[in-house]
Amino acid sequence: MTQGTRGGDDLAAILKSLGEEELATLRYFLRYRSVGEILASRELRAMGIKNPSKILAKLVSLGLIKRGIGCYTISKEVLDAFRRGEIEI
């Protein structure tokens, strides 16, 4: 998603390759959309995510979430595909 917009099929393939911690983190961002770095790390750890920094970095590298100044936000492409029912998380 870093180069143009990916379709629902591409997103679905990426989502199938993710582990449970990555999927749980995406569900968290579907619920809260945009969260500060420190709060996200604390809440994800409280949810049982062992290494939130590693998970967040992976999701950013895949383009599933975006990193802003002091925060993380779910990508527009993922959110739109979820709303259209093209993907399930």
Q: How many domains does the chain have?
A: 1
User: How confident is the model at residue 3, as a pLDDT?
Assistant: 41
Summarised one tens digit per residue, pLDDT across range 13-43 is 999 999 999 999 999 999 999 999 999 999 9
**Residue 2: inside a domain:** no
Q: What is the pLDDT of residue 2?
A: 41
The secondary structure of the chain as a DSSP string is --SSPPPHHHHHHHHHT--HHHHHHHHHHHHHSEEEHHHHHHHHHHTT-S-HHHHHHHHHHTTSEEE-SSEEEE-HHHHHHHHTTS---
What is the pTM assigned to this prediction? 0.87
Domain containing 35 — which CATH number? Answer: 1.10.10
In a domain, residue 55? The reply is yes
Tell me if 10 is assigned to some domain.
no
